[in-house]
Amino acid sequence: MNATSASPADLGTAPAVPTAHSRRTVDAPTRAFHWLTALCFAGAYATADGERWRLVHITLGYSLVGLVSWRVLWGLLGPRSTRFAGWATRLQALPGVLRQLRQGTWPGTQVQNLGMLLLIVALLASLTATLASGWVGDQGFTGDWIEEVHEFFGNTSLALVGAHIGAVVVLSLLRRRNLAGPMLTGRTPGRGPDLVARNRGWLAGLMVVAVLGFWLSFGVWQWQTAPAGSLLSAPESSQHHGDDDD
């Protein structure tokens, strides 16, 4: 057998495997914001009731204030793929889509994309209202009614989170593509140029370090300055009251 007729196995090399094509569509800081916000919101909601975990709730709430503030700056000054100007451009198509719906036409892809974007905008707005009302209540500027406002927007945010997750699952099934994948890897399957030129992993790492540092410093300060009845002191307080009653 001569060299020209030799197969890859005869030459001791494996046949070439086609490589999967993908392109970067989400940068690392945006992904870090997404998952840190999800973690903080879940923790804050879980610790919302009662005084036992109040300090944890407040620490996570202020963490969310920092994260949302960063996202606003990133949306105004960040790379083009993360700017709110892109959202505004996409939302300009909303009147045309509504007009098509009234005419009995169903622009499926546009409805799906706009619906997902509107959910994200509504979630950010509701989360901002939750944080603002929580801060006002924590400062004691108003009466107890602000706690009801805070709870209302917190529950609204939770409902929007559930709607967002449900929309991702449904659209992933309809399009037969994992739409949550880019928020994990930053990449979307398919050919074409990267929509995000630089990943900026260093900035994502800095965000994680900043949040962890805030938890440590602010959490310790809160613990040291907290009055009786806050984190881990509520059982003692209630026990002493019980002794006094006896």
Convert the pLDDT of each residue in 176-224 to its tens digit: 889 899 999 999 888 888 888 899 999 999 999 999 999 999 877 877 7
Q: Could you list the residue range(s) of the whole structural domain that residue 99 is in?
A: 23-183+198-216
With respect to residue 178, please indicate whether it lies within any of the assigned structural domains.
yes
Q: Quick one: pLDDT at residue 76?
A: 94
> Residue 234 domain-assigned?
no
Domain count, the chain: 1
* Domain contains 230: no
Q: What pLDDT is recorded for position 226?
A: 63
pLDDT value at residue 228: 55
Whether 225 is in a domain gets the answer no
**What's the angle, vertex CA 12, arms to CA 7 and CA 13, rounded to 5?**
80
Residue pLDDT, tens place only, 3-62: 444 444 444 444 443 345 889 999 999 999 999 999 999 999 999 987 888 889 999 999
**3 falls within a domain:** no
Which of 17, 70, 68 has its CA nearest to residue 44?
68
Judged against a pLDDT cut of 50, whether residue 147 lies above it is answered with yes
Rounded mean pLDDT of the chain? 84
Q: How confident is the model at residue 227 (pLDDT cuts 50, 70, 90)?
A: low
pLDDT (mean) for 111-135: 94
CB 68 within 8 A of CB 131: yes
pLDDT at 229 > cutoff 70: no
Long-range contacts of 240-244 (CB under 8 A, 24+ apart): none
Q: What is the percent of the chain with per-residue pLDDT over 90, rounded to a whole number?
A: 54
Mean pLDDT of 84-110: 88
Confidence (pLDDT) at 194:
86
* Cβ atoms 82, 105 nearer than 8 A: no
| Residues 165-177 pLDDT 10s | 999 999 999 888 8
Is 44 within the bounds of a domain? yes
Mean pLDDT computed over 123-133: 96
Helix, strand, or coil (residue 53):
coil
Does 113 reside within a domain?
yes
User: Is residue 80 a part of any domain in this protein?
Assistant: yes
What is the reported pLDDT for 163? 96
pLDDT score, position 141: 85
